[in-house]
Structure 1
Amino acid sequence: MKTIEDKDVAGRQAPTTPPTAPGPVWPGWAIATAICIRFYSRLPVPALRGEADPHAAPDFRTVPRALPFAALIIALPATLVLFGAGAAGLGGLLSATLAIATLAVTTGALHEDGLADSADGLFGGRTPERRLEIMKDSRLGSYGALAMGLALLLRVFALAVIIDRAGPVAAMGAFLIAAVLSRLSGVRLLATVAPARVHGASAAVGRPSRRTAWLASAIGVGLSTGFCLATALPLRGLLLGLALSALNALLVMRLCRRLIGGQTGDIAGATQQLDEIALYLGFALMLGTAAL
């Protein structure tokens, strides 16, 4: 299974050296969105007019600015499953399970694999070099299996609480918000923390610039606020989710700097999973408070 650390684009291996262009290229928004969809999912995206090579490795210095829009498209199949199952009266737990399963198929379990590799590496090794070596190993260890299993349970049950307390429309809003904001957390990590591997595939595609990361974050927060208002979700839930996400980001940054000396694509994937849980918990807690 491929992770952000070694993911290819349409079957081509990521380069082992950083982009050699004298400066970052800023493709149009449509092309940048298509590049993000190809990188973060298994959805088929045709070549767009103006793309020099749709199968080339992306220049991550600029394209993640379009990630909020790509994340919505990636989450759309699972969102429709979530709404359909909830509207059909299947209940929160079954509806959430079907949605999370659909999302995992759509993304190729990209972030789940990053979480498992990160848990195995960070907690299974005694030196930074050994931890990084374990993270590159495709085999699943005890820490990785436990982390992935617990994360799946937390995502499913937290989303089920939202469905049961607020209905399928509100759950759709929470699902889309989490899809956008959780992926942006990984981009911010890549932009603000130096890579642990100088010549790794994650470093090879280029680090997002701070401008790219904050532009994408601003777009993501704007979209999320709109979804909150449109689906009658409590804004307090969004604020609490963002606060929990910020705490998670701080802990992950401190941990990866201390244990492996920086970030990797697997760490970015783990951050996405933890932030998705944090955002669901924020809404679930605030909806529970409102019901009292």
Structure 2
Amino acid sequence: MRNLLPFFTRIPVKGDFERVKNELWALPLLAPLTSALATLVLYLKLPLSNVLALLSLYLTIGLLHLDGLADWADGVMVKGDRERKIKAMKDLNTGIAGIFAVVMVLFLQVYSLPFLPFYALYLAELNSKFAMLFALATKKPLGRGLGAYFMEGMNGRQLAIGTVLYLLLLLPIVYIEPLSLASLLGLLAGAYVVHLSLENFSGLNGDCIGAVAEITRAGALLGMAVVWQVI
């Protein structure tokens, strides 16, 4: 798992890039680490804890996935054929669709947190990391970037181990609080991002994987907030 940290977080450790694609099964194990500081902020109930928690999260994971979300949204929203959409996604300039997507994802997360228990961000991160694993398992690379490199190492064994780890990390929380199952709504959102990516680009690259991570986390928090308030 140590080799994943430099590429999926800002935690200052060294990793072997050549081994990353063979350790993708450990992505769910990153969730307790990436959400630790944010969860502590929420547990302590600090002033503006929802804002501080989200800042703490991005301090830990960085802004790479948010950048990918912006590029992905620009590509999906532009009118035209597949080539034009891919060109828009790879454009260095962020368009209005990308800005809107980032603002909405941040807003939904900040807005949802005050309605949820302190461990909600951990659940959202767990689903986010598992959704990334699921997206890589599609084995539908777009281009020859990092996304394609990681997909080269994905196989049924990695997905199976990752799924078992995901369930082991999820089920104890669900046993204590059954409403935590609402976090699975985030996976549906992530699966829809994968569907849109395949529909618009005929494959997935690093930007698509980043969009899956961000939208899954926001969807999990929003889904839990709605269920918690209704029930």
Same fold (TM over 0.5): yes
Equivalent residue number for residue 56 of structure 1 = 17
Unpaired stretches in structure 1, ≥5 consecutive residues: 1-32, 47-53, 163-169
Deviations 1:50-84 (CA, angstroms, capped at 9, x unpaired) = xxxx3434442x31111122221122122222223
Q: Which of 50, 54, 74 is the aligned partner of 2:34? A: 74
The yes-or-no answer on 1:44 pairing with 2:12 is: yes
Q: Deviation of residue 192 (structure 1)?
A: 1.6
Q: Conserved in 1, the CA contact under 8 Å of 2:186 and 2:220? A: yes
SS of match in other structure, 2:171: helix
Q: What is the CA-CA distance between 1:200 and the residue it aligns to?
A: 2.7
State how 1:199-238 maps to structure 2 within 5 Å: 199-205=144-150, 206-229=152-175, 232=176, 234-235=177-178, 237-238=179-180
CA distance in 2 between counterparts of 1:66 and 1:216 reads: 6
Is 1:132 aligned to residue 86 of structure 2?
yes
CA distance in 2, matches of 1:80, 1:241: 19
In the TM superposition, residue 191 of structure 1 has moved relative to its aligned partner by 0.7
Kindly state the Cα deviation for residue 194 of structure 1 after the two structures are TM-superposed: 0.8
Structure 1 residues 139-160: Cα deviation after superposition (integer angstroms, max 9, x where no partner): 2211000000011000111112
Structure 2 contact 3–16 (Cα < 8 Å) conserved: no
| TM-score in terms of structure 2 length | 0.90
> Pairwise mapping of residues 62-101 of structure 1 onto structure 2 (< 5 A)?
62-84=22-44, 86=45, 88=46, 90=47, 94-101=48-55
Larger Rg, first or second structure (1 or 2): 1
1:100, distance to aligned residue in structure 2 (A) = 0.6
Counterpart-to-counterpart distance in 1, 2:24 and 2:212? 16
Residue equivalent to 1:194 = 140
Q: Is the 8 A contact 2:124 2:183 kept in 1?
A: no
Return the letter of the residue paired with 2:146: A
Distance 1:37 1:80, change over 3 A: same
Shift in alpha-carbon separation, 1:249–1:73, aligned structure 2, 3 A: closer
Offset at residue 137 of structure 1 (A): 2.6
Q: Quick check: 1:181–1:217 contact (8 Å CA) kept in 2?
A: no
1:192 counterpart SS class: coil
Give the secondary-structure state (helix, strand or coil) at the position aligned to 2:157. helix
Letter in 2 for 1:36: L
Question: Which amino acid in the other structure matches residue 67 of structure 1?
Answer: L
The residue type equivalent to 2:132 in the other structure is: G
1:236-278, CA deviations, whole angstroms, 9 ceiling, x for partnerless residues?
Answer: x333331x23432442233212211111111111111111122
| Percent of aligned pairs sharing the same letter | 29
1:176 aligns with 2:122: yes
Residues 206-250 of structure 1: CA distance to partner in whole angstroms, max 9, x if unpaired? 242232123212211221222344xx5x31x333331x2343244
- The unaligned stretches of length 5 or more in structure 2 are none
Change (3 A) 1:83 1:240: closer
Residues 90-121 of structure 1 show CA distances to partners (whole Å, capped at 9, x for unaligned) of: 2xxx2111111111122121221111110011
How many Å separate the matches in 1 of 2:142 and 2:160? 22
CA contact (8 A) 1:81 1:99 kept: yes
For 1:138 and 1:103, the matched residues in 2 are separated by 25
User: Does 1:248 find its partner at 2:209?
Assistant: no
Question: Secondary structure of 1:44's partner?
Answer: coil
Q: TM-score, normalised by structure 1?
A: 0.72
